[in-house]
Structure 1
Amino acid sequence: MAADDDSRETGGRPCPQCGEPLYKRHCKYVCPQHGVVYDCSDTFW
């Protein structure tokens, strides 16, 4: 199985706005409802 740019790691922390599980993509944590919520340079969580 080859990795590609659309691969997702799900089941992460919940979105602070809606509670949906965030997925990680390219050093960003993305909510399916709200888009990018955090990136890896955020040190607040």
Structure 2
Amino acid sequence: SYSSADTEELVHRARAAHEPRSDGEKLGMMMGLATVINFMPSNV
């Protein structure tokens, strides 16, 4: 399950991903974020 702190961290990362240096970097960050969401370990 997710705590409010986990959600806030994900939102922070998602917002940061909207300010990349290039479209390629943005895509990489978004895919990385998707991986974090799908495979987040319980100890994070």
Common topology (TM > 0.5): no
Compare the two structures and name the one with the higher helix fraction: 2
- Higher RCO (CA < 8 A, seq sep 6+): 2
TM-score normalised by the chain length of structure 2: 0.19
Compare the two structures and name the one with the higher strand fraction: 1
